[in-house]
Amino acid sequence: MRNRAGLKANAKENLKRYYWPAFLVCIISGIFNGGGGSYGGYNNIQTRYDSQYSSFQSFKENLLQPDMLWLIGIVASVGLIVILISIAVSLLVGNPLLVGKNRYFMCSRDVKTGVGEIGFAFSCGYFWNIVKIMFLMVIATSHSRYYKKL
């Protein structure tokens, strides 16, 4: 049972019992957590930026006219509000749902577990503690990813 084939057979057997509920739990968690994190794509953005730099210069000169500065302010304000709302939803909804998803899969190994287990963090009485710990985890993992790339 402690070899790869035994673990794989055990996982297949367990997943047969609750495939569709597990799929639904993953979909719900993926919607609020962005479907997983990926920090790739920087090179693609850099290449596009380099190739469009000359056209951007003329665009920048036209955009920075005094009568267009109010538009820049509105777009920046709306962008900042959207970013703040996105961070709040991620911290207050996405991370607790991630904890509930993990609890669902851990509990479903032994007992029949319902899809409602994904909302565990909202009903357990430890919501703010879960939010705090997940926030610290995000900071710690982001910090280590940054320094790993250097």
For the chain, the first-to-last Cα distance in angstroms comes to 41
Which residue in the block uniquely carries the two structure tokens 């297949």?
Answer: 12
- How far apart CA 57 and CA 15 sit, in angstroms, is 56
Domain that holds residue 8: 4-149
Which pLDDT tens digit goes with each residue over 14-62? 788 888 888 999 899 888 887 654 444 444 444 455 555 556 566 666 6
- How far apart CA 11 and CA 9 sit, in angstroms, is 5
**pTM greater than 0.85 (yes/no):** no
Which residue in the block uniquely carries the two structure tokens 């565990």?
Answer: 120
Q: Domain tally for the chain?
A: 1
Question: Which of 109, 77, 102 shows the shortest CA–CA distance to 25?
Answer: 102
Estimate to the nearest angstrom the gap between the alpha carbon of 95 and the chain centroid.
8
Which pLDDT tens digit goes with each residue over 51-110? 555 565 666 666 666 677 777 888 899 999 999 999 899 899 999 999 999 999 888 888
Geometric angle at alpha carbon 102, from 97 and 103, rounded to 5°: 95
User: CA torsion angle for 113, 7, 34, 29 (degrees, to 10)?
Assistant: 0
More confidently predicted of 123 and 111 = 123
Question: Which of 33, 38, 36, 23 shows the shortest CA–CA distance to 97?
Answer: 33
Determine the 3-state secondary structure of 65 from DSSP: coil
Q: What is the pLDDT of residue 73?
A: 84
φ/ψ region of 135 (left if φ > 0, alpha if ψ in -120 to 50, else beta) reads: alpha
